Amino acid sequence: MISSEFTRLYTRGERKRAVLVVNPKSGGARAPGMIAPTVQALSNAGFETLTFTTTCGGDATRIAEDYAAEADLFVCSGGDGTINEVIRGVMKSDKAERPVLGFLPMGSTNDFATALGLARRHDKMIETLVSGVPTEIDVGCFNGRHYAYLASFGAFTDLSASTSQEAKNMFGFLAYLGNGMKSIANIRPIHTTVLVEGELITGDYAFVSVSNTPSVAGVINYNKKNHIDLNDGLFEVMLIDYPRNAIELSRIANALSTGDFDCEYMMRFSASEVRFVLDEPVDWILDGEQAEAGHEVLIQNVHSAVRVMLPKPEKKSVFGAHEE
């Protein structure tokens, strides 16, 4: 078996075991350039490292499923889709056998890395791998399939890809919001019944999300009003009504721009479990990847499911400046 071969190869002395999975296509093929410095840093930190590159969708899941229980640290170099695959594979192991996860975000959007507070500089990414803080976080379960941070359907689901980098750099949030309003205007209403804690909620929605992240699609920013805890056993659920006219659309846009979701055309709540019954199947997006689903979807929060290496909290000096 693969796992026994891994054990045979990596039992020298007191060295710890690490697995590095690299998606060579992530971030304009920047990910392979991280292999050598990452392996060197891990070696310096006392790890023997086994390295893989993915060749097709599902590879990262298969590698994680085969090797996770034998590793102390499992590192993913890729985008949101790659870390989604790794988490799916790692969750096949019993909780006690799951390794600490390391993430080197190399994708074009890296929403999950932003939620985790990971640095974009390569040296800082690697530093977090070897000297960060293992931190428990929740993950989601979508009809039995695990995901990292976001399940959604409707508008906004392709905003990161459809909004140009130039517009993001120049206009920031406004670029996302402008594209988001166009996506709402061009989408059809999706009649949905939501079951949560014994209550039924029914409506025609332009967008639905179940997330464990401070922001969704670059448009919904929860942290403007509240802090989002990634390990509280709860997801943030957002339901946005389909706007029937320009006035309703403008009120939705205003709520999104201010982060004040006390709007009659939006509903936000926290839940550990939520069920959706749809009049017709729709395309759901899990961490940026399409997921097949039928008329009914059950989403559950798996509390403290995995540990992820996160940056050490910054310390404040007596002068108020931040120090490493």
- Averaged pLDDT, groups of 10, the chain, 324 residues long: 44 77 79 86 95 93 95 93 94 96 83 87 91 96 95 68 40 41 64 95 93 79 77 95 84 82 92 96 87 93 97 60 43
Q: Is residue 272 part of a domain?
A: yes
Same domain, 184 and 112: no
E strands, the chain, are 16-22, 47-53, 73-78, 100-105, 133-142, 145-147, 150-154, 190-196, 199-211, 215-216, 220-221, 235-241, 266-271, 273-278, 284-286, 289-291, 296-310, 315-316, 322-323
Q: What is the DSSP letter of 259?
A: T
Alpha carbon 272 to its chain's center: 17
What is d(CA 78, CA 233) in angstroms, rounded to the nearest whole number?
Answer: 26
Which structure tokens are listed for 205?
Answer: 């929605």
Same domain, 298 and 154: yes
Q: Is residue 224 part of a domain?
A: yes
Res 239: pLDDT: 95
What is d(CA 88, CA 58) in angstroms, rounded to the nearest whole number?
Answer: 10
What is d(CA 250, CA 178) in angstroms, rounded to the nearest whole number?
Answer: 11
Res 231: pLDDT: 96
The CATH code of the domain that includes 68 is: 3.40.50.10330
Same domain, 86 and 197: no
Same domain, 121 and 8: yes
Q: Is residue 140 part of a domain?
A: no
Same domain, 265 and 181: yes
Q: Is residue 136 part of a domain?
A: no
Res 10: pLDDT: 45
Domain that holds residue 6: 2-131
Helix, strand, coil percentages, rounded to 5, for the chain: 35, 35, 30
Which structure tokens are listed for 69?
Answer: 């229980």
What is d(CA 229, CA 235) in angstroms, rounded to the nearest whole number?
Answer: 9
Write down which residue in 131, 158, 190 finishes a domain. Answer: 131
The CATH code of the domain that includes 167 is: 2.60.200.40
Same domain, 156 and 291: yes
84: left (phi over 0), alpha (psi -120 to 50) or beta: alpha
Same domain, 115 and 187: no
Kindly report the backbone phi and psi dihedral angles of residue 317, in degrees, each rounded to the nearest multiple of 5, phi listed first: -80, 175
Which among 249, 254, 238, 253 has a CA at the least distance from the CA of 185? Answer: 249
Q: Is residue 141 part of a domain?
A: no
What is d(CA 272, CA 290) in angstroms, rounded to the nearest whole number?
Answer: 23
Q: Is residue 317 part of a domain?
A: no
In total, how many domains does the chain have? 2
Res 170: pLDDT: 37
Write down which residue in 131, 160, 182 finishes a domain. Answer: 131
Same domain, 29 and 65: yes
Same domain, 84 and 181: no
Q: Tell me the pTM.
A: 0.82
Same domain, 166 and 114: no
CB 220 within 8 A of CB 256: yes
Q: Is residue 318 part of a domain?
A: no
